[in-house]
Structure 1
Amino acid sequence: MNSIIETILNHRSVRSFEEKKLTKEQIEIIVRSAQAASTSSFIQAYSIIGVTDPKMKKQLAELAGNQPYVEHNGHFFVFCADLHRHEMIGKMENKEVLYSIESTEKFMVSLIDTALAAQNAAIAAESMGLGICYIGGIRNQLNEVREVLHTPEHVIPLFGMAIGYPKDLNEQKPRLPFEHIYHENKYEQDEVKLKTQLEEYNRLIAQYYEERTNGARKDTWTSQMGNMLEQHVRIYMKDFLQQIKMDLH
Structure 2
Amino acid sequence: VWLRNLDVLDSEQIERLIKEIVNKLGSVDILINNAGITDRSTVEDSNRIYRQVQMAVNYLAPFEIIGRVLSLMRKNKFGKIINVSSAGGFMAMPTMSSYSASKFALEAASESLWYEMKPWGIHVTLIIPGFIDSLGFLNTTESIKCQRSSEDSTSTYFEHYKGMKRLISDNMYSSNSTNQTIAAKICKVINMKKPPLRVYVTFDAWLFFWFRKVLPLKIYHLIIYNFLPSIAKWGKQPYQK
- TM-score tier by shorter-chain length is under 0.3
Q: TM-score by structure 1 length?
A: 0.27
Query: Comparing both chains, which one has the higher relative contact order based on Cα–Cα distances under 8 Å and sequence gaps of 6 or more?
Result: 1
Instruction: Please state which structure has a larger fraction of its residues in helix.
Output: 2
